Structure 1
Amino acid sequence: MKFTVFTLLLLASLQLYSQTGNYFLSHYTPGEDRFDEVCFDIAQEKSGLVYFATRRGILEFDGRNWNTLLNDGAVYSIQITPSGELYWAGAAGYGTIAPRNIGNRKTTVISPKGVTDVFQCLIQEKKSYFVGENSLYIETPGQATLTVSATKQTGAFGSIFEIFGAVYVNTAHMGLFKVDGNKLVRSRLNFSNTEEVVFSQGYDNQYLIGLSDNNVYLVGENLKPRLIVLEDEMYASASVIVSGTWINKDMFVLGTLRGGLIFVQASTGKTQEIVNYNTGLPDNEVYALMSDQSQSIWAAHEYGFTRVSPYLPFRSFSHYNGLAGNLHCARDFQGNVYAGTSVGLFKLEKEELYDEITYFTEVTEKKPATTVTQATTPAPATQTTPTTPTTETTQPATESKRKGLLRFLKKNRSKESAPVVTPARPAETTTAPTPNPSVTPPPGTVKRRIKKSQRVLRTTTYRYKKVQGINAKITQLVIVNDKLIAVGLGGAFEIEGLTARPILEEPVRVAYASRNLKMLLVSTYDDEIRAFTPDATGWAPSSILSTVNDDIEAITDGNNQDLWLCAPDKVYHLDVATGTLKNVEGLPISNPTLNKTACVRWNKEIVLAHKDGFFRFDEPQHTFVRIDSLPKPVLHFSDGEDILYNDGRTWNILGKTHGQSNLQLLNLLQNLRFVTIDQNGENLWVVTGNNELYKFYGEKLTPYEIGNKPLLKAARNENETMDLSDFALDETKSSLTFDVIQPDYLAPQSIEYRYQLGGLEDEWSDWSVSNNIINFAYLPSNDYVLMVQSRDIFGKIRELPTVAFEVLPPYWKRPWFYALEFFVFSALVMLSMRLSSRFRIISRVLSLLTIIMLLQFIQTVIAETFETRTSPVIDFFIQVVVAFMILPVEGYLRNLMLKEGTLAGRLQRFLTPEAAPADDKKD
């Protein structure tokens, strides 16, 4: 409900502007080793990962990284279940890819042996459907594959789709059928048998359905289609609709063969935006569409993928025709947009755009006496229509122009041999099962379809037109007394429409509209300050500031009738209380590197800003002192009224303490060169380093980006991917690398990560954009818990579910090995005692060996317990101390075991006198 209200407010607010700009676009292209120019389908996992079905397999994308899941041939269709299981259909049949569980995702082919070229899949709760040209395969868990075959009556199968739980399939000869168990029944949907359903998308309780005749319908629960009358119906028909999807219940988008994307208001059919080559889309031919979780649109085209974000408060103004030169500034004035560039000033004006529409019409001609009837449908423009004998029939007046995905499969057309795009296609070679209702032509005549063209108004667009009288760089636009002033290297000019009237014809560094003086103040490259007052004849010069000569780069009004002028190393305070200059005071400032300075009035104080920080004028001390509560600005822009600054991560406007969360979206734009704050203080004009011009609509609009949680994509042990469902590794091979990512397509390169490994560290690492790759070269044996957090451009922190794992000590440090050692020592002692009577030398050797091994065992345990691993010298001295500690133990054990060995021998001889030597018997 909240987002619905927001959507209506957004659309309404944008309509207040006569020139709204174009939607914000983001472009993505995989590397050359993974890129394929044909993408058949797009799907998004619940975690936020996006998958692309291409001619080389399935690509996975997280906003930063591309990964190939399946590369055994072309994949034409993909579907993802809520549990994360991915179903695919392609040239090699169809199958599944197991859900993500940290490790190699298992791919299973479930299609019967010999099945190939399956071009679409559809997943329901208990069944999955896979369709090829001649067969429909139905898979149910635990049951055998059910196959429904096409017949001569139905013709080849087309695409399948779902409406309110029912599954439908297109057929070549008999139109639409409903799948009922293991059979096909005629559909209740009242669509023509000659038209194919190109797409079907459900949202709430209605479905958006597009037919191959370029008509778009809404279907409710009563299954009665309602035609949507498109505002740009002629453009949509000429562009050939091939796909469509909902964005939300108020808007949907249509993908076309040669016209890009058409965004349409669902309730009225009104066009909200056309995104094509003229507005930033790399190619007008759209292969596939998908609406993601953030209500942005993904479009696949020949040059990769483009994400269109209708609800981001950015609008692009740099794709309109007519603009020339490098952009330097822009501004709204009286409902018009002006842009200053390196070659002058340009105004954005309305322009009507026409398209040359090609269509076919039927004409009746006399039938030649000596010829047979020719095929009535012409071939594409670059081919010659073959003439073959046929019966005298008439083709439907409106023909199917495109069958969506099937142009890549059923007609065996590769990208390199794609047909020439025309609004009509050749006639089908199959015959419909019902007679054509067209009227039979009079005897002796024949109907023939001929190609015609018509110039049709497509839409009203805008075009930049150059303002006459300015032929030099324009760097600033200011508004003085409801007049637009452009300044730059050519001087200062008053702008009226497309005409510029000079005020000052010498290079100007900066201009300022003084409210206190009601004057236009300009700083020239000659280090002079010129003042101009508007009058009935134009602009009258004033010499009120003629005594100031310096490199002035910022000007602002004071609290009273005073002015503050900022030079790189000095600030001038001017008292002009009575309209005359009374006093000029120069105040030195700390700016050793002569950074660009901004100067504004904030909270009745004069504040300076440069890269070394913010400084306020301290009246009692009569100097500028550092504001410690504000960070050093890495980047700042000012119009003399406000300062927009970035502290290295976040954006803020000096003096505003609320409603600035949207400012962090400026992180989407790289290398900002220019920012102008509109008069209302909420909207911004932004110029980027790649010469893009955007308008940022400020605080009233909030982008709809739900954000995703970070996920663990992989854990690698010496380049071997591990499965964390049962994660334990040996200390001798404890080199671990964790690959964490937060799927994000708004500003993925700006997301920061930090981590903590419980069991090894007690503190979090620093925030860094590179901490998504966490590497541990060595981990001692212990139980560990990995904790990872991510932080997006809005400062929102999300946590990865903790990952617990164990690093096992080497086998000689494990309890079972200690037990084995104890058993061996005990056995050696017993053996020594048994051999002491007969084999005294062997017994002594065994006793000494047992003592040595036992002492070495004790020394190893103690040394391992107190080992520091910080320095081999320290560890050596610890071992020496341990050796001295156990030296008395060694002597005691040696005496004890040797003594016990002797006593044991005597005891044994006493108990068995017959075995004793003669000398012993005497004793």
Structure 2
Amino acid sequence: MQRDIAGNTFKFILLLLLLALGSIGLNAQNGNPYFVNYGLPTGVSNQNWGFEQNENGELYVLNRRDVYSFDGWQWEGLSVLGRPIAIAYSHRLFYSTEQGVGYFNNRENAHPSQVNLIRVDDDNFYYKFSRTNDGLFVVSPTTICKISTSDSIVVDTVYHDVRPEVFISDFFQLGENTYHIKNSALIYLNKPNGGHEMLAGLPVGDDFTFSFIHNEMAFFGTKTNRLYTFDGQKLKQFKLADQQYANASFLNGGVSVNSNLIALSTLNGGCIIVDASNGQTSSMLNFSNGLPDDEIFALGTDNENGLWISHPMGISRVDFSLPISEMSHYAGLMGNLLTCIEFDNTLYVGTGEGLFYLAEHFTYKPVDIYVKTTKQKVAKKSETEPQQEQSISEKRKGFISRLFNRGNQELAADENITIKPEKDDGDSPQFEVDYRRKQIQKLESVSHVYKKVEGLNGKVRFLVVANNRLYAATNFGLYHITNKQAKSVVKGVNVLFAQESDIIKGDILIGTNEDVLVYSTSNSKGAIKSIAKQKGAIASVVQLSAGGYAFSNEFDVFIASQSGDSITRVDLPMGELGPPLIRKVKGKPFVFLKNSVFELKDDKLVKANDFTLSNQAQFFQYQQGVFWQQDSLRWSCISSDSCSPKFNSQLLNLFENPTFINVSTDNSVCVINAYKQIFRLAAQPNDTSAKPLSLFIKRILDKDGNILNPNNVSISYAENALKVRISAPSFVRKDAVMFQYRVRGLTNSWSEWSSNPFIELPFIPSGKYTLLVRAKDVIGNSSNVVELPFTVEPPFWQTIWFYIVSGIGGILLLLLIVKLREKSLRRDKLMLALKVKQRTRTIEKQ
């Protein structure tokens, strides 16, 4: 028996080595999906363990210390009471901590309050939520509860088991049925009467470590880095094409991305995107292609099927809905990226260090595998046998401990993993298998690598296709590229501009630091012709339909005859600023200046009204026949019918500084961003990326910082200032959203677009107003207008009661004045009468 065991062990080790040395570990990749990396604010732990999203698009992040909301611009801590373990959203945000299960009750005039639902005793922590149509399930090692959230919050216990020899380690739903996993290895069906039935289990010694649901199928990861599926009846292994990579990287989580893809996180190998239908790797996201760190803490998805990845450097979002692939992560590129083109089914990239092309490549790399040893297996025990109590107790303690230490999962270098052979027919020797980690040299497919074209070491500024041949324009001259090698055809010139003529196909128009040249490719040897000499650094050249040429340098525009014998300088309009650039748009030559565009007609410049201009307008023509105009956040493309990009041009705003744009023959677009990255935008209908943008008012503060009720915003005249925090969650890019507002009753025009989500109204006269807010993002999505009515109470001297009291007071004062006047008149009359009487007596006495 021992001899058979040893023989089987040797065969198994040999098989592992052959697989490691002979297999191709990573499948070919055609670029990685577009993703955005977000850093964490100061004071926030770098360990994030989960993601949820509400109906407004706001993201909730389960952090080791707290739960945070994030809208792509601002992080806000919710101050959860206790150490967070899990979160879920169902009409409200629910959470579990070491203290129990609770939720946030949104109050209209204050911060959301926390309501406790379930209290926890001892270490019976609720560690997982599972969403249902009308609420949530929440699970602890002994209990499964259902929380109804549709009308009022109601909690019911649906399963409870306090036996010390078992614990609930996971829970999931398939259709109308619910299941739980005991002791990290056995799958049970929960029956309506409260009972349960064991359906399947893992081989001896292996444990489930994570689970997720994809297309009504449960997927499970194990501590031996295997992936299993469960359809409600049978448990079977899911074959990963890159199993060796998974073994070396240690699987620690997974999530369903969309109907076709699943994502697997690893401890030290980044994130593997897998085709769920066949196990093939769709793409690999790790440090080498832009992910800030290879250690993944957690995965999650949002309402737009975006994949969220948590790592020590923050969080990242992968957007599979955008038709964008990142092409610069492959090894081999050197220098700043200047130009690119797809020719003969190959991507060529010109840089400051030469010309490179993308090719398949295989390389050896040290990886870890597991070498098998065997030992006699102990007879199988039932789940209730006392011999298992100690191991189950230790397993439960480890399970509970990992709830609060999910960032410390790294395996020791000499750690052993015990599993059972996958097939056991009952007659073979009963033994357990131990695997010890060992490093070997493995043949790994990097899938693609950039290789340098031989014979060219200069700075490649332009790539031109003429007569179905590829040419590279460099600071050392013009080169013909064939069979991945460069041959010099125009030597000793510093080429600053090059493109094929649209009049004589096969002619390449060349501008150098002094001259204008034409290189003809009509014959195999080629021919060079000089058009102009000593005209300064040439910025642009076009061939005119009349047979001559127009070209420009840093300051002037010239017209040359076909032979170059006659050269005329074209006068630029007074006050116009250069440098002038000559471009052809739909066959017509135009001269572009900083703030104006002129058509070149009969050797004169005529103001063109074909282009909408602003102070922010910029013009680009990177290839013959395709013209780009950028004005603020709006991109426009004017091109010939034979070369017309079919995609949402606003996607170019995802790139902070597009330095080169090339339209391929299949109407896809290659973009170089900031001389560092290459992206490929697949052709698609222009409106497929447009989606409505959610906009809501998050908080309203008065002058003293008090939170106001959004349904009844009324402030006194003494506190006549408002600060409104608005939010439009968008994660397509950092600072992706801009806002605009106006106050009906106070202003007639909209404000300038701004990325600041705070609206401050420092002084508002008394009256009734409505704040109107709208938002848009950089790729053209826009929101509806959101209205916020509010009132500024008038000062007491402008109130009706003040007017009434003042009126009554005025009347009383007037009456008093009249009375006093009447009294004064009576007194004067009496005094006059007395004086008359006295005078009369005096006269009578005389």
Q: 1:782 to 1:666 in 2, by over 3 A?
A: same
For this pair of structures, how many residues does the alignment match?
773
The secondary structure found in structure 1 opposite 2:139 is strand
Residue identity matched to 1:469: G
Query: Are 1:524 and 2:524 an aligned pair?
Result: no
Instruction: Decide which of 586, 600, 606 is 2:583's aligned counterpart.
Output: 600
> Which residue number in structure 2 is paired with residue 722 of structure 1?
708
CA distances 1:457-486 after superposition (whole Å, capped 9, x unpaired): 554511122223333322221122222222
What's the counterpart of residue 744 of structure 1? 730
Q: Does 1:802 align with 2:811?
A: no
Residue 311 of structure 1, CA deviation: 3.2
Q: Is the 8 A contact 2:693 2:782 kept in 1?
A: no
SS of 2:119's equivalent?
coil
Q: Which residue of 2 aligns with 1:305?
A: 315
User: For 1:170-569, what aligned pairs fall within 5 Å after superposition?
Assistant: 170-172=181-183, 175-180=186-191, 183-188=194-199, 195-196=207-208, 198-203=210-215, 206-212=216-222, 214-216=225-227, 223=233, 228-353=238-363, 356-360=366-370, 362-363=372-373, 409-411=400-402, 414=405, 417-420=408-411, 426=417, 449-451=435-437, 455-503=441-489, 504-517=491-504, 518-525=506-513, 527-534=514-521, 538-543=525-530, 545-546=531-532, 549-569=535-555
Q: Give 1:18-167 correspondences, 5 Å limit.
A: 20-34=30-44, 36-81=45-90, 83=91, 85-99=92-106, 101=108, 103-112=110-119, 114=121, 117-125=125-133, 128-139=136-147, 146=157, 149-152=160-163, 155-167=166-178
Specify every segment of 5 or more residues in structure 1 that has no aligned partner in the other structure, as ranges: 1-17, 366-372, 377-390, 396-402, 826-853, 859-888, 904-923
- Kept in 1: contact 2:416–2:436 (CA 8 A): no
Letter in 1 for 2:138: F
* 1:199-225, Cα deviation, whole Å (9 max, x unpaired): 22254xx234223255556666x6556
CA contact (8 A) 1:127 1:139 kept: yes
- For 1:604 and 1:142, how far apart are their aligned partners in 2? 69
CA offset at residue 67 of structure 1? 0.8
SS of alignment partner, residue 245 of structure 2: helix
Is the alpha carbon distance of 1:816 and 1:279 closer, same or farther for their aligned partners in structure 2, counting shifts above 3 Å? Answer: same
Distance in 1 separating the partners of 2:333 and 2:258: 34
Cα deviation, 1:279-306, whole Å, max 9, x if unaligned, reads 2112222222222222221111111111
Distance 1:282 1:747, change over 3 A: closer
Specify the code of the residue in structure 1 equivalent to 2:740: R
CA–CA separation in structure 2 for the residues paired with 1:115 and 1:814:
62
SS in 2 for 1:129: strand
- Whether contact under 8 Å (1:93, 1:115) holds in the other structure is no
SS in structure 2 at match of 1:722: coil
How far does residue 664 in structure 1 lie from its aligned partner after superposition?
A: 0.9
Identical residues among aligned pairs (%): 19
SS at match of 2:118: coil
**2: distance between equivalents of 1:247 and 1:643?**
37
1:328-372 CA distance string (max 9 Å, x none): 22222212222222222222221125555544454468xxxxxxx
- Mapped pair 1:686 → 2:609: no
1:115 shift after superposition: 6.3
Residue 288 of structure 2 aligns to which amino acid in structure 1? Answer: N
**Larger % of strand: which?**
2
Shift of 1:64: 0.9
Asked whether the equivalents of residues 654 and 779 of structure 2 are also in contact (C-alpha less than 8 Å), the reply is no
Residue 470 of structure 1 aligns to a residue in which SS? coil
Name the CA shift for 1:727/1:191 in 2 (closer, same or farther; >3 Å).
farther
Q: 1:574: which partner in 2?
A: 560
CA contact under 8 A between 1:103 and 1:724: conserved in structure 2?
A: no
Residues 32-63 of structure 1: CA deviation (Å, up to 9, x unaligned): 122x1211111111111111101111111111
Q: 1:156 to 1:551 in 2, by over 3 A?
A: same
Give unpaired runs (5+ residues) of structure 2. Answer: 1-27, 380-386, 827-846
Cα distance change, pair 126–596 in 1 and its aligned pair in 2 (3 A): same
- AA aligned to 2:609 is I
Cα distance in structure 2, aligned partners of 1:682 and 1:423: 53
- Taking the aligned partners of 2:161 and 2:260, their CA distance within structure 1 comes to 38
Cα displacement (A) at 1:593 = 7.1
Q: Counterparts of 2:824 and 2:405 in 1: how far apart (Å)?
A: 91
Answer with 716-725 or 459-468: which moved more: 459-468
1:162, 1:200 within 8 Å by CA — same for their partners in 2? Answer: no
SS at match of 2:751: coil
In the alignment, the residues of structure 2 paired with residue 467 and residue 655 of structure 1 have an alpha-carbon distance, to the nearest angstrom, of 31
Task: Give the structure 1 partner of residue 769 of structure 2.
Answer: 784
Q: Could you say what secondary structure the match of 1:324 adopts? A: coil
Distance 1:497 1:611, change over 3 A: farther
* CA apart distance, 1:561: 3.2
Question: Is the CA contact 1:131–1:160 (under 8 Å) kept in the aligned structure 2?
Answer: yes
- 1:616 equivalent in alignment to 2:628: no
Larger RCO: Structure 1 or Structure 2 (Cα < 8 Å, ≥ 6 residues apart)?
2
SS at match of 2:783: strand
Matches of 2:403 and 2:57, distance apart in 1: 33
> Over residues 834-865 of structure 1, what are the superposed CA-to-partner deviations in whole Å (9 max), with x where a residue is unaligned?
xxxxxxxxxxxxxxxxxxxx13xx8xxxxxxx
SS at match of 2:277: coil
Residue 645 of structure 1 pairs with residue 636 of structure 2? no
Contact 2:469–2:480 (8 Å) recurs in 1: yes
- Which whole-Å CA distance do the structure 1 matches of 2:432 and 2:75 have between them? 58
* Distance across 1 between alignment mates of 2:326 and 2:40: 25
Q: 1:500–1:168: structure 2 CA closer, same or farther, 3 Å change rule?
A: same
CA deviations on 1:395-453 (whole Å, 9 max, x unpaired) are 9xxxxxxx9x998853477477543377975459xx9xxxx9877859xx997655555
Match of 2:613 among 622, 628, 631: 631
Name the Cα RMSD after superposition. Answer: 4.0
Q: Secondary structure at the match of 2:493?
A: coil
TM-score by length of 2: 0.81
Q: What SS does the aligned partner of 1:799 have? A: coil
Report how far residue 73 of structure 1 moved: 4.1
Distance 2:582 2:87 in 1: 57
On the 8 A contact 1:486/1:495 being kept in 2, the answer is yes
* Counterpart residue type for residue 510 of structure 1: F
User: In structure 1, what residue type is equivalent to 2:113?
Assistant: K
SS in 1 for 2:257: strand
Tell me: CA distance 1:275–1:680, structure 2 relative to 1, closer, same or farther (3 Å).
same
Query: Equivalents in 1 of 2:599, 2:41: separation in Å?
Result: 51
3-state secondary structure, aligned to 2:648: helix
SS of residue paired to 2:60:
strand
Question: 1:174/1:512 Cα in 2 relative to 1: closer, same or farther (>3 Å)?
Answer: closer
- The 3 A distance-change label for structure 1 pair 418 and 202 is closer
Measured after TM superposition, the shift of residue 717 of structure 1 is: 0.6
Of the candidates 681, 691, 697, which is equivalent to residue 682 of structure 2?
697
Q: What CA deviation, in whole Å up to 9, does each residue of 1:680-721 have, x standing for no partner? A: 394333222362222333555765463432110110112222
**121 and 690 in structure 1: CA distance in 2 versus 1, 3 angstrom threshold:** farther
Q: How has the CA–CA distance of structure 1 residues 667 and 79 changed in structure 2, closer, same or farther, with 3 Å as cutoff?
A: same
**Are the counterparts in 2 of residues 201 and 244 from structure 1 also a CA contact under 8 Å?**
no
Give 1:786 shift: 1.8
Q: Offset at 1:788?
A: 1.1
